[in-house]
Amino acid sequence: MASEFGISAETVSRIRTGGAGVRLSSIRRLFDPLNLPEPIYGKDYKEYIRTPSSKSTTSNKSTSKAQTVDVTNDDSNVITSESLDDLGSDRTAANQESDNLYPRITPDPSFKGRDEDIKKLEEFVNQGEKVILLHGKPGVGKTKLAWEFVLRFDLILECWIGKETDEIKSAARVVEEWLQLNFNEEPGGEFMTNLERLRVILRNTTKRIGILIDNLETALDAEGRFISPHNQYVRLLRILANPAVQSITLITCREYLRESDIRFRCHTLQGLSIETWREYFHRHNITTDSLDFSKIHEQWQGNAKAMEILCGAIQLDHSSSIEQYWQETQGDFLGKPELQYLIVSQFNRLQQLGMQNAYNLLCRLGCIRYQDRQIALTREGLFSLLWDVPDAEKIRVVHSLRERGLVDFLDGKYWLHPEIRAVAIEKLEISENWEKANREAAKYWTDSVKTIKTIQDALTALEAYYHYVAIGDFNSACLVIVKNRNNELTGRLSRLILSEDSLGHSFCRLGLLELMLEVTDRIINNSNLPREYPLGKIYNLLGDLHLSKGNIEISLEYYVKSGEIADECKHMYLKLASLTNQGFCQIAFGEYEQAQDLLEIVGSYDSGEFYNENEDRFVVIARSALAFLYSRLQLQQANDYTERVYRGLDSIGLGVQGTGYRITFLGLAYRNLGKTEKSLEMYNRAFTFAQDNYYTQLKAQALTGLATLALEQNDFKTANKKLLEAIKLLEDIGAKWDLAEAYYHLGLTFRKIVNIPQSHDYFEKSVRLFQNMKALKQAEKVEKVMVNKLQFSYKIDSSELPGTEFNEEKSDMNMKSSSTQKQALVTALIDQGLIRDFFKDEKELQGYKQEVYESGLLDDLQERAKEFGQTVHGRTYRGSDYELADIGFEEGIYLYSILRKLKPETAVETGVCNGFSTAFILLALAKNQKGQLYSLDFPEVAGVDYDDGTFWEGKRGAVIPKDQEPGWAIPEHLKIRWDLTLGKSQEKLPELLARLGEIDFFIHDSEHSYECQWFECNESYKFLREGGILMMDDMSWNNSFDNFANEKEKHIIKIGHDLGFLIK
């Protein structure tokens, strides 16, 4: 086998002894080809979007007492938290009337007595509230009310906060699940990226969305603020509370939420009225004429859960006689009318009545987490916990708990109220059944999922892991993650794909990266697993997860650890996987010789069998990569080698990801060899394969490959279109290496059409990504292209290519690497763009520039900058060095020139700091002899101690000197046209704009968070006149300005890298 591919046989022995040392400084996409993340296959994601059934109507005329509190923060951004209370209405009946196959939500037929509360919630919604907190005691019915209210919405998003702190879902995980389960979006990017995608969806959707967040109190500290590991919920809630979103969020919580950044309305839920209790008891054939009934209602303050439990107890244990119950129990709860005491009494009652099987089941049910109503237990799950009860008696035991109101049931699913579960788990933990119950539950979850096709399948299978962790059996927890399951695959090439996949890699395939990172990190950090095959697979999985997140060096370390375990236990599969993955790392870092060394070892390996599916597949994948390497280095054997790899393309199944890499490497190889038709065949095949198998990353790679071929043919329109599509996909899933490569090729595309600023922007994005990943040789590749000889191509119609700013005839230009000459070229091109888009001609622009040079302002500001540098030293409480944060003089001159041309009557600025940008604006107004500037600023003063959270956490070191005011650097004679207001823009800007009315110019230069930038753009645009200018400084901090311009269908005119504006 080795000789056929022209590789020295001596290399074969190196793998036998664990040879081929690997440097930890280089990486690309590492993968474990035996357990590759499979694509999402089968039916479309739309199947899983939830469509609630219409809300059942209630005729109950009784009302409940309620208190309403308005908790409104000065910040105009509104924040929400999402959770669910006790009642769960799981959905198992599929919607047969539409494409939406996600189970419908069934209204709770027992919901009564909350008409006034519903009216209050409707009142809040009509008043424009986006976030409503339902506050109340345990068992009062918060979740039932929230559940009933959200049933009226077109789509329901759920977030179940765990009852224990270690069960709380991270906000990042919640957002990922919402995007994927409900909106057919592929998660995988950073939290802020996913959060922004959610915000855009909630703003633009035509559906009415109800969001339910249950039991928020677990995530709060004693003061009502989020505990430190879960501060990201504040960001999520701010998005959900934005007035522009088409959603309503209901939060259930036993405590008050006291986050200062959150504006919400609070509705305190009281107990049900005695009329509602009476109706409920009548429905269960219990008469309520006795005066004792009112005493019972008063004792339990109308608590809804107490009503259910008491009704069951009176019916079953006291002959449906309220009088008999009261006589026997009236002293039991004196002075302690809390729900927990009633629940404990019911546990005791089961034992007193000799119902030991029912008691045991109730306790054992405490080990179930009940984190998601879609993963609640079925009847078979309850039966699995009755291992010591004859099958014929199990159903009777289950019914006895349901009749007593101790187990909730709906749509074939069972769960415990949080208060009942708290008592159950406390009793179970001290019993002899603790370990046995968890093991049986784990086995039930594992056996219930034969094939992982959906996110719900994956989450259900993962429940077994939590049970093993609860009893400290991390070895079994590890096996849950690495156990292979069959997966149904689709597509024309499915016969070539191995269908087994581990649970961990299913999570990778489905995009649930955050959750699997939590799981695997916990295994590694809390256990002493033997250095055997399962741990090696866990390390491979961790490598995949961290690589997908862009943590490349960490990822490489895990792959190397996997290889070390392979050496120790002599496991050839792990060794081949480790070496193959490290070879791909070297390719990504541009260390091609090291990659070749590693991959030649794997490529020359012979298992001694015709085909060993666990080993030979690595050989095939490695050879595909070698074909690319040989073609790139133009080695003599490259052409023949590539053809031999191509001839065996369909001979062995490699798994979904392995098949994808094999095809794309061949596409690259043929392109390097100049065989365009064959390269096109490979990329088209990769694209089709990705489409068939919902493999987003491969689809993006194929699009990038097709774009490079189009660019070689000077088909700029096709190249641009495919690259922009690839970039969108890669940004969505957070595939940073492929994203950097796509940016690089888009930069090449714009450079060929003489769009130097746009080309430069994409090149810089590529360089930053490669540098962040420590892929320094890749970054150098891009930097060399940026300063080398620029080849300008053909004139094209700007309407054909989105984003094109310059059209030039074919020409040549030698640009030296001198930064001065490079800057001169960039400045000239910026001038050309501004003349085309804004100024009358070059003479007008140059005339305005000359005015600044003659004004003396540059000298004044230079002196202020020198003074700042000599007197201000230190660091902010966030750890950033103090800095002046001045606008570049070149950008300041452009800012001045634009305002001279615009001649605004009313200009608004957010963010003053030391006043450099403000000075250029005021100089323009002075020269215009008209106009007034209104500025907002919330300054940070050097040397002053601030509490955490005073300023945006992403703020850098911009400060003003102690004993100075904002704008101190502005020459006094310019301040006559200046009005300054102190405070945060989120609080002060709406009021200022309302007072000013129509404005001509607005510039953002304050808090550069996405939320603040979007807020300021949105608010100012409402008051901006037609033809007015909306400008943003530091717009590269995030993509808010790009998104805003796209929403308004406006073109951004860029002034350098960080300053740009649009015209209304």
Question: If DSSP states are collapsed to H, E and C, what string results for 967-989?
Answer: CCCCCHHHHHHEEEEECCHHHHH
Axis crossing angle, helix 434-448 with helix 418-429, rounded to the nearest 10: 120
Q: Which fold has domain 695-788?
A: 1.25.40
Question: CA-CA distances (angstroms) from residue 730 to 533, 661, 737, 743?
Answer: 33, 16, 9, 10
Q: Which residues contact 968 (CB under 8 A, 6 or more apart)?
A: 864, 914, 915, 960, 961
Identity of the residue numbered 1013: Q
Q: Report d(CA 176, CA 253) in Å as an integer.
A: 23
pTM value?
0.59
Looking up tokens 């490598």 gives: 543
CA dihedral sign, ordered 539, 541, 544, 550: negative
1026 burial level (CB within 10 Å; 0-12, 13-18, 19+): exposed
What pLDDT, in 10s, does the model give residues 27-57? 233 333 333 233 222 223 223 233 333 333 3
Q: Report d(CA 732, CA 738) in Å as an integer.
A: 12
- In the three-class reduction of DSSP (H, G, I as helix; E, B as strand; rest coil), residue 894 is classed as helix
Closest Cα partner for 630 from 663, 589, 587, 588?
587
Please indicate whether the domains covering 114-268 and 838-1063 agree at the CATH topology level.
yes
Closest Cα partner for 511 from 37, 50, 141?
37
- In the three-class reduction of DSSP (H, G, I as helix; E, B as strand; rest coil), residue 35 is classed as helix
DSSP string spanning 647-685? Answer: HTTTSS---HHHHHHHHHHHHHHHHHTT-HHHHHHHHHH
- For 838-1063, the fitting CATH number among 3.40.50.620, 3.40.50.300, 3.40.50.150, 3.30.70.1060 is 3.40.50.150
827: its two tokens? 């400045």
Closest Cα partner for 781 from 493, 539, 587, 564?
587
What pLDDT, in 10s, does the model give residues 816-848? 334 444 556 567 767 777 887 888 888 899 899
**pLDDT value of position 877:** 84
Low pLDDT (below 50) residues in the chain: 1-105, 334-336, 489-499, 609-612, 789-821
For residue 240, the surrounding DSSP H or E stretch is helix 232-240
Looking up tokens 């855009």 gives: 200
Looking up tokens 């009216």 gives: 119
Closest Cα partner for 102 from 111, 110, 93?
93
DSSP string spanning 431-449? Answer: STTHHHHHHHHHHHHHHH-
457: its two tokens? 């399948």
**pLDDT value of position 803:** 40
136 secondary structure, DSSP code: -
Looking up tokens 């298992």 gives: 607
Task: State the CATH architecture for 114-268.
Answer: 3-Layer(aba) Sandwich (3.40)
Q: Report d(CA 200, CA 1018) in Å as an integer.
A: 13
Looking up tokens 């900058």 gives: 865
Contact call for residues 928 and 939 (beta carbons, < 8 A):
no
**pLDDT value of position 754:** 60
1032: its two tokens? 């943003």
Q: Which residues pair with 83 in a beta bridge?
A: none
Which pairs from 1060-1063 meet CB under 8 Å and 24+ separation? 1060/1031, 1060/1032, 1060/1035, 1061/898, 1061/1029, 1061/1030, 1061/1031, 1061/1032, 1062/1029, 1062/1030, 1063/838, 1063/1027, 1063/1028, 1063/1029, 1063/1030
Q: Which residues pair with 1032 in a beta bridge?
A: 1004, 1060
892-896-902 Cα angle (round to 5): 145
Domain ranges of the chain: 114-268, 274-333, 609-693, 695-788, 838-1063
